[in-house]
Amino acid sequence: MEADNDTGISEFLLLGLSEEPELQPIIFGLFLCMYLITVLGNLLIILAVSSDSHLHTPMYFFLSSLSFVDICFTSTTIPKMLWNIQTQSQVITYAGCLTQIYFFLIFGAWDDFLLAVMAYDRFVAICHPLHYTVIMNPRFCGLLVLVSWVISVLNSLLQSLMVLRLSFRTKVEIPHFFCELNQVVGQACSDTFLNDMVMNSGIMLLGGAPLAGILYSYSKIVPSIRRISSAQGKYKAFSTCASHLSVVSLFFCTSLGVYLSSAAPQSSHSSAVASVLYTVVTPMLNPFIYSLRNRDIKRALKRITGVPVM
Q: What is the mean pLDDT of residues 136-154?
A: 97
Q: Provide DSSP, 196-220.
A: HHHHHHHHHHHHHHHHHHHHHHHHH
Angstrom distance (rounded) from CA 134 to CA 136: 6
* 8 Å CB contact between 289 and 297: no
310 pLDDT above the threshold of 80: no
- Residue 124's identity, in one-letter code, is V
Fold of 11-300: Rhopdopsin 7-helix transmembrane proteins (1.20.1070)
Please tell me the predicted confidence (pLDDT) of residue 231.
81
Sign for the CA dihedral angle at 201, 218, 238, 135 comes to negative
Which pLDDT score, from 0 to 100, does residue 6 have? 47
- Exposure letters 93-103 (e unless 16+ CB within 10 A, then b): ebeebbebbbb
- Region 106-122 average pLDDT: 95
Q: List, for residues 71-90, the tens digit of each pLDDT value.
A: 999 999 999 999 999 999 99
pLDDT tens profile 265-294: 555 666 777 788 888 999 999 888 887 767
Average pLDDT, the chain: 87
300 touches 45 (CB < 8 A): no
Let me know if 58 is exposed, middle or buried by CB neighbors in 10 A (0-12, 13-18, 19+). buried
Q: What is the average pLDDT across 159-167?
A: 93
Residue 271 confidence (pLDDT) = 74
Read off the pLDDT of residues 85-107 as tens digits, 9 standing for 90 and up: 999 999 999 999 999 999 999 99
At 203, the pLDDT band (50, 70, 90 cuts) reads confident
- Overall residue count recorded for the chain in this entry: 310
- Burial label for 53, CB within 10 Å (0-12, 13-18, 19+), is exposed
Give the residue extent of every domain in the chain.
Answer: 11-300
* pLDDT higher than 60, residue 123: yes
pLDDT category of residue 7 using cuts at 50, 70 and 90: very low
Q: pLDDT by residue (tens digit) across 25-44?
A: 999 999 999 999 999 999 99
Which pLDDT value is given to residue 262? Answer: 61
